Amino acid sequence: MGLLNEKIKEVLQSLAPVTIFVLVLHFTIAPLTSLQLGQFLLGAFLLLMGLSVFLVGVDLGATPIGIHSGHAIVRSGKMPILLMGGIILGFLISIAEPDLHILATQIEQLTGDSLAKWTMVIVVSVQPCKVDDGDRRFCRCRASRNGGVLADCQTDQNSLRPLACLRHHLDSCLSQSVDFS
């Protein structure tokens, strides 16, 4: 019961500002009907309870599975399995994102079905990228034979800077536009 109470408090911290904002609007400039206000408050309560129970389930079920399988894969020392697992998991997480499906549906409608929804979802989920930050630096990360990660950066001087490259590569691939060429 302690975990449920903790999750209720977490969800309440996220839900309270929105609920208070709507209530302030209701009592000041945009009054709702009694039915609308009642539906909103009931929805907020059901969201609070449902999300709290969901998060308890995640903490009790999914999180321990992820922790134990992650430890097992890392302890195996097999970098290719770790990398493939990360790639597959990242793909599945991206493909399951509801916002991506909404965006892909809108793009499909705007392009008159010339760009199919699933094409867009899969291309965005795969996220290939080539890093070019203007100073002609290209980065590539790959598994080495001893299980480590090699990160090669080639600049105009053909220098090798593994840590800077890895940081640059990840930042660029995750936060900048993607070049599909």
Span between the terminal Cα atoms of the chain, in Å: 53
Q: Are residues 107 and 95 in the same domain?
A: yes
The pTM (predicted TM-score) of the whole model is 0.52
| Separation of CA 78 from chain center | 25
How many angstroms separate the CA atoms of 94 and 122, rounded? 9
Q: pLDDT of 81-127, one tens digit each?
A: 878 878 888 888 888 888 888 988 988 888 888 888 888 888 877 75
Q: Are residues 61 and 111 in the same domain?
A: no
Burial 26-53 (b: 16+ CB within 10 A, else e): eeeeeeeeeeeeeeeeeebeeebeebbe
Number of domains in the chain: 3
How many angstroms separate the CA atoms of 107 and 117, rounded? 7
Q: Span 40-68, mean pLDDT?
A: 92
Burial 107-132 (b: 16+ CB within 10 A, else e): bbeeeeeeeebeebbeeebeeebebe
How many angstroms separate the CA atoms of 46 and 8, rounded? 11
Q: Are residues 109 and 140 in the same domain?
A: no
Q: Are residues 134 and 109 in the same domain?
A: no
Q: Are residues 4 and 60 in the same domain?
A: yes
Q: Are residues 61 and 87 in the same domain?
A: no
Expressed as residue numbers, the domain containing 165 is 128-181
The pLDDT value given to residue 127: 57
Q: Are residues 133 and 177 in the same domain?
A: yes
Q: Are residues 149 and 97 in the same domain?
A: no
Q: Are residues 60 and 85 in the same domain?
A: no
Q: Are residues 87 and 140 in the same domain?
A: no
Q: Are residues 103 and 170 in the same domain?
A: no
Q: Are residues 86 and 141 in the same domain?
A: no
- Look at residue 132 and tell me whether its pLDDT is greater than 50: no
- Look at residue 44 and tell me whether its pLDDT is greater than 70: yes
170 and 139 Cβ atoms separated by less than 8 Å: no
Pairing state between β 138-143 and 149-154: antiparallel
- Look at residue 74 and tell me whether its pLDDT is greater than 60: yes
Q: pLDDT of 139-173, one tens digit each?
A: 444 443 444 333 444 444 444 333 344 444 444 44
Nearest partner of 10 among 58, 64, 62, judged by Cα:
58
Domain boundary at 76, 108, 136, which? 76
